[in-house]
Amino acid sequence: MREVINTVRKRYGNLYSKVRKMNIPGGVKFPIGALEASFRWINESTVSPRLRVGKLDSIEFSYNAAEIRVAQTFLARLLTVEDFETKLIEVISVAYMKAMDGGIVSGSGDGQMLGILNDPRVAATGNVITMTAAQINNWSAWRKNFFAKLPLGYRDGEFIFPLATVDAYLETMADANNNPIFRQATGLEVNDGDARNPNGRFFGRDISLVEPDILPDFDTANSNEVIGIYWQPEEYAINENFGFTMRRYFDEETNEWVDKALVVVDGKVLNPNGIWLIKKA
């Protein structure tokens, strides 16, 4: 009877746990550019040309404030066990992880993080593949449509999928006799029975599973909507300033105890070239 049963069992934080974390002042600009040199054979009468670095772009992190408030009525506070307060940290943590995963994928950049799907630099790369239900369920189509186009320098990335897409399409790959081939053809392994770490691997790359409110699954997505992402997690950065500031106060007007967590955070893609968007045809 001393345990508070929480009916919310969604899991977040699979993306947040992998991105780069920083704690620097807002307004600092990170130079970003394509740096490349060439090798040239020379003789006594020739020299190699000078390679000049062109104009560099930059990424700047802002001060975006956000808060989480949890209210508890005065009467409920008198009647509930003290163990309820131990759940407060869990509730706040889940809310923050949900906001971070959602921000990484689809943050608008307007007073909040700029997500992958709304970053114009990601769209400008043209790294998009569109797959039908038959193609996403076919290991050969993955090789031809996706991996054959993936540059060598970005082949060590990871996938982001909702579990329903993995269950319905990746784990149902079969041969002409309807024998399952997903494991031997793609190396697919998913720990879907492990609620704490349900992630897996696909073609030798890690899969970060997300809830459908972060990324829609194939069946519920609209045509041309992103249903999967291939990315380099370390090339997305979240900048957190000051950490969480916690405060508890009593609202005389509503007779509620309110616990408020305030944080200043921003997030952006550092290098968009290793991100590929997988869309439903």
**Model pLDDT for residues 97-146, shown as the tens digit of each residue:** 999 999 999 999 998 999 999 999 999 999 999 999 999 999 999 999 99
Phi, psi of 191 (to 5 degrees): -90, 60
Question: Is 25 within a domain?
Answer: yes
Secondary structure letter of residue 261 according to DSSP:
E
Q: Report the predicted TM-score, pTM, of the whole model to 2 decimal places.
A: 0.86
Residue entry with tokens 């706040």 = 92
Considering just the CA atoms, what is the radius of gyration of the chain in Å? 23
Question: Is 246 within a domain?
Answer: yes
Q: For residue 196, name the pLDDT band (cuts at 50, 70, 90).
A: confident
Question: Is 267 within a domain?
Answer: yes
Question: Is 212 within a domain?
Answer: yes
pLDDT in tens, 36-57: 666 677 777 777 676 665 666 7
Question: Is 2 within a domain?
Answer: no
Q: How many separate domains does the chain show?
A: 1
Question: Is 102 within a domain?
Answer: yes
- Distance between CA atoms of residues 61 and 239, nearest Å: 7
Query: Residue 112's pLDDT is what?
Result: 92
Question: CB within 8 A of 13, min separation 6: which ones?
Answer: 97, 100, 101
Question: Is 1 within a domain?
Answer: no
Q: Which residues pair with 267 in a beta bridge?
A: 238
Question: Is 137 within a domain?
Answer: yes
* Domain ranges, residue 130: 7-281
